[in-house]
Amino acid sequence: MNNNTIDRYAVAGNPVAHSRSPDIHARFAAQTGQALVYERLLCPLDAFKDSLRAFEAAGGRGCSVTVPFKFEAHALAAHLSERARLAGAVNTLRFDAQGWFGDNTDGAGLLRDIEINAHCRLAGKRVLLLGAGGASAGVLGSLIKARPATITIANRSLGKAEALIATHQAYALEHGVTLAAARLDDCGQTYDVLINATSTSLAGAGVPVAATVLAPGALALDLMYGPAAAPFLSWAREHGAEPRDGLGMLVEQAAEAFEIWRGVRPDSASVLADLRLQLDAS
């Protein structure tokens, strides 16, 4: 089989050079015996759609979508999953004959990492979600689905937290979850689970809340991984919380995407363990 006949997938974004997705999907493919290749597709900022069309014409069957195209992918999809519609963003496209299907696996990936890998059930818990940008929008619906007692969204600009709540309020009511907006310097109480979905770790800007938000033994998770997440993880450890980076979410959202494309669920745990070893050794 050569690259003209084998099913092709890719991570589409700008930049994509450092993406670990090709490695993750190659492992999933080998594990499940699926014949496919998974590449990097660097899309010019003004030519996302054209890049995808060309990729599809050359044997592309779908792609992962990363920064900064998740909103554009949402607009381009002919069909959307309920969770992608709620998030207003798409991280997984499948090129179906009847039109592109857009889904968002970020929230399910995060939830699986928290509940299965980190053994932390969210039901009844108090959750503090930092940030109200694209990353928070991608995961809020799945957090609600897990039925914590409350989710407080703290953001530098309060208006954006309130806007995010407005789009999720009906869904939260359906699930019996209370949503609240807060300022970063006034989060009110302590929380069982803290999720940093701001871009502060990436920017090296430090942890944007005081350690007083952490209940003893709280799970403190940053969506980043690698060196960018290190200051947050040290901070969490120093203040008696259970630190966790975003590597598990990365692998789990990929596993979910793989299943959407191929109809087969890969074993994410073994891939996460391998990547963890690789990351720790680097």
Catalytic residues: 70
Query: Which residues of this protein are in contact with ligand ATR, per CB under 6 A?
Result: 131-135, 155-157, 160, 198-200, 203, 205, 208
Tell me the sheet residues that pair with 234.
none
Closer residue to ligand ATR, CB minimum distance, 22 or 208: 208
Closer residue to ligand ATR, CB minimum distance, 29 or 108: 108
H or E segment at 83?
helix 82-87
Q: How far is the CB of 182 from ligand ATR (least distance, A)?
A: 13
Q: How far is the CB of 187 from ligand ATR (least distance, A)?
A: 13
Q: Are 162 and 227 in contact (CB under 8 A)?
A: no
H or E segment at 9?
strand 7-13
Q: Are 43 and 17 in contact (CB under 8 A)?
A: no
Closer residue to ligand ATR, CB minimum distance, 111 or 135: 135
Q: How far is the CB of 210 from ligand ATR (least distance, A)?
A: 13
Closer residue to ligand ATR, CB minimum distance, 19 or 29: 19
Q: Are 39 and 66 in contact (CB under 8 A)?
A: no
Q: How far is the CB of 136 from ligand ATR (least distance, A)?
A: 6
Phi, then psi, of 146 in degrees rounded to 5: -80, 0
Q: How far is the CB of 171 from ligand ATR (least distance, A)?
A: 19
Q: How far is the CB of 159 from ligand ATR (least distance, A)?
A: 9
Query: Which residues, other chains included, contact 200 with Cβ-Cβ below 8 Å and sequence gap of 6+?
Result: 130, 206, 207, 208
Residue 161 CA: distances (Å) to CA of 91, 133, 182, 187, 224: 21, 9, 8, 13, 20
Residue nearest to ligand ATR (CB): 133
Closer residue to ligand ATR, CB minimum distance, 91 or 268: 91
For the stretch 60-81, what's the b/e string if a residue is b when 16 or more beta carbons lie within 10 angstroms of its beta carbon?
bbbbbbbeebbebbbebbeebb
H or E segment at 192?
strand 191-196
Closer residue to ligand ATR, CB minimum distance, 120 or 195: 195
CA-only gyration radius of the chain, Å: 19
